[in-house]
Amino acid sequence: MRNFLQVMVDAVALGSLLALVALAIGLVFGVMRLINFAQGDYITIGAYALVVPTASLTPALLIGALPVPLMVAGIMLVVILLALATERAAFRPLRDSDPATLLISSFAVSYFLQHLVMLIHTGRPKSVGIGQALTTPIDILGLRVPGIQVVTMAVTAALLIALVLFLKRTPMGIQMRAAAENFQMARLLGVPANRVIAVAFVISGVLGAVVSLLLIVQTGTLSLRMGLMPVIFAFFATVIGGMGSLTGAALGGFLVGVASVLLQSFLPEGLRPFRDAFLFGLVIIILLVRPKGLIVIGAARERV
Amino acid sequence: MLNITDLTVRYGKLTALDGVDIRVDAGEAVFVVGPNGAGKSTLLKTIAGLLRPAGGQVAFEGRAIAGGAPEALCRGGLSLVPEGRHIFRTLTVEENLSVGMMIRRDKAEAKADLEQVLGLFPILRERFRGIAGNLSGGEQQQLAIARALLQRPRLLMIDEPSLGLAPLVIEGVYASLRELNAGGLTLLVVEQSTARVLDLASRVYVIRSGKVVLTDSAEALATGDAMEEAYFGYAGRADA
């Protein structure tokens, strides 16, 4: 039982992380019909901004050397500016293109950013020691939970609540939900398209920065592709949650994270290397049963 | 107030509007009727900035507006209730109306307008906090019109207000439009059905295959079959 609870804590912690990435993808998809694979590179660059660009495998800290509040603010600023720059330079000129073109452009942006990091930091993985105090386990009701998992869950809960309040209570949040449902009608009512999309990218930047920091504390490793797997998993999360539904994206993130950890823990030893195959098999089964995802929005999703 | 001259709009090689001239004066209720595919919705979408014309001019209150961004045109006093209503189904009635009021700077007056609009459409007050997607077709049409009214437009354009509604509900929607027009609001309404047009219209344009084939005052059209003939293509040309 204790073992199961321990596994569930791991599962919920990973689910929380994926929910944050899925929300970022879902939010931008909502207002732009763009599945932004560059979200993974926002995470990577946020993490690399912690250290001084050198060829060293144990680089000195840059933004990571600042006191925690300043460090968090600094990484957020870097990722927000990056997200806004990609929106302005790559996605805005293609805004009226079909979703397939937008998707391909996001791959292009992603490759560009990966190679930019490689150019500045070299392509070798590096180790970075930040927030190591958080990796020591805390004793909670007999369970030994690493502090970072508690922080991950608490931060996710706080961000989810903040996002819900923003979307439900603020004029910009309501406009964003309106634009996500029917972008053209929102524009006809005067909702400023550029501002709504920019705010969606700012939020995706904040979420990306938070995921950068949580990942780096968990793993202590910087690598060019560190954002890739979270984004692929989060993409599946948004698909099974129902594209365009933010509740679905968060729910999908939790489900994928939980399923991943449960498979890792309870699959027979010999099958564990194939965990992802089982996970993606589950995604296929969910989509066969509910092709539009778990949460379907009644309104037409396509822009007309 | 609105002057459209020689307007041409194309979808690729297909010409949807071909040299259309339409004028709407302040306080009028101008109707554009025509069969399916005549170019009626294209006309309203072009005026509202959703489509770029291939040629011709659109002037609103003396300013050229063709090709302007929809959000800017709406702030400039033009509101469109598009075909199919397009309310935000996942938002509440209140939130839908708040998006309509977003462009208003005079918050106190906007609040007073909200009260007035809820007086005009009492069902919206009853369903104020309910999800808009749960409203009936007629209620959704009322919400779409109410939302547009809260922008306090100087010209309200409505695409097929009677589409998909029961006769009694259409009666209610037209009664509201009549009241609004009597209160001084200029209307440009597109309808496929000619049934109720003459009750409300001051002038009517009939378009077929992207061209204006007849235009006259509602009074003149009330007698004789000119409108039906033009609509079904018996009349041939506008000057026939």
The reply to whether B99 touches chain A by the CB within 8 Å rule is yes
State the pTM of this model. 0.85
Q: Is B94 helix (H, G, I), strand (E, B) or coil?
A: helix
Q: For position B234, what pLDDT does the model report? A: 67
Helical (H) or strand (E) element with B72: helix B70-75
Helical (H) or strand (E) element with B108: helix B107-120
Distance from CA of A191 to the nearest CA of B (A): 6
Are B95 and A174 within 8 A, CB to CB? yes
What is the rounded distance in angstroms from the CA atom of residue B161 to the CA atom of residue B52?
24
Q: Which CATH architecture has domain B2-232?
A: 3-Layer(aba) Sandwich (3.40)
- Kindly give, in sequence order, each residue whose CB lies less than 8 Å from that of residue A4, ignoring residues fewer than 6 positions away: none
Is the pLDDT assigned to residue A300 strictly greater than 50? no
Domain spans, chain A: 2-227
Q: For position B130, what pLDDT does the model report? A: 94
Q: Is B16 helix (H, G, I), strand (E, B) or coil?
A: strand
Q: How far is CA B192 from CA B57, B161, B234, in A?
A: 25, 10, 17
The reply to whether B105 touches chain A by the CB within 8 Å rule is no
> Which residues of chain B carry a pLDDT beneath 50?
236-240
Are B99 and A186 within 8 A, CB to CB? yes
- Reported as a single tens digit per residue, the pLDDT across B75-125 is 889 999 998 878 999 899 999 999 999 998 888 889 998 998 898 888 999
Are A171 and B91 within 8 A, CB to CB? no
Is the pLDDT assigned to residue A156 strictly greater than 50? yes
Q: Which of A273, A95, A301 is nearest to A182 (CA)?
A: A301
Residue located via tokens 């509201």: B176
Is the pLDDT assigned to residue A203 strictly greater than 60? yes
Q: For position A109, what pLDDT does the model report? A: 97
Q: How far is CA A23 from CA B87, B90, B213, in A?
A: 24, 18, 53
Tell me the mean pLDDT in the region A65-73: 93
Asked whether B82 and B75 are in contact (CB, 8 A), the reply is no
Helix, strand, coil in percent for chain A, rounding step 5: 75, 5, 25
Q: Token pair for residue A230?
A: 């979270």
The reply to whether B76 touches chain A by the CB within 8 Å rule is no
Are A175 and B100 within 8 A, CB to CB? no
Is the pLDDT assigned to residue A304 strictly greater than 70? no
The amino acid at A7? V
How many A/B residue pairs have CB atoms within 8 Å? 73
Are A186 and B103 within 8 A, CB to CB? no
User: ipTM of this model?
Assistant: 0.85
Q: Which of B41, B44, B99, B151 to mutate to test the interface with A (most CBs of A within 10 A)?
A: B99
Q: Token pair for residue B180?
A: 């609004």
Q: pLDDT tier at A297 (50, 70, 90 boundaries)?
A: low
Q: Which of B46, B90, B145 to mutate to test the interface with A (most CBs of A within 10 A)?
A: B90
Higher-scoring residue by pLDDT: A184, A132? A184
Q: For position A246, what pLDDT does the model report? A: 82
Task: Give the closest of B50, B89, B147 to A189, CB-based.
Answer: B147
Are B99 and A191 within 8 A, CB to CB? yes
Q: For position A295, what pLDDT does the model report? A: 76
Tell me the mean pLDDT in the region A141-167: 89
Tell me the mean pLDDT in the region A183-207: 93
Length of chain A: 304
Q: What average pLDDT does chain A have?
A: 89
Q: Is A196 helix (H, G, I), strand (E, B) or coil?
A: helix
Q: Could you say which residues from 166 to 185 on chain A have a Cβ atom under 8 Å away from some Cβ of chain B?
A: 171, 174-175, 177-178, 181-182, 184-185
* Rounded (10°) CA dihedral A124, A125, A127, A130: 120
Q: Which residues in B lie closer than 8 A to residue A182 (C-beta atoms)?
A: 86, 88
Asked whether B213 and B235 are in contact (CB, 8 A), the reply is yes
Task: Give the closest of A174, A185, A299 to B133, CB-based.
Answer: A299
What is the rounded distance in angstroms from the CA atom of residue A258 to the CA atom of residue A85?
34
Are A298 and B147 within 8 A, CB to CB? no
Q: Could you say which residues from 265 to 304 on chain A have a Cβ atom under 8 Å away from some Cβ of chain B?
A: 297-299
Q: For position B12, what pLDDT does the model report? A: 85
The reply to whether B70 touches chain A by the CB within 8 Å rule is yes
The reply to whether B120 touches chain A by the CB within 8 Å rule is no
Q: For position B240, what pLDDT does the model report? A: 41
Q: For position A101, what pLDDT does the model report? A: 93
Asked whether B139 and B123 are in contact (CB, 8 A), the reply is yes
Q: pLDDT tier at A206 (50, 70, 90 boundaries)?
A: very high
Helical (H) or strand (E) element with A78: helix A68-86
- Reported as a single tens digit per residue, the pLDDT across A22-33 is 999 999 998 888
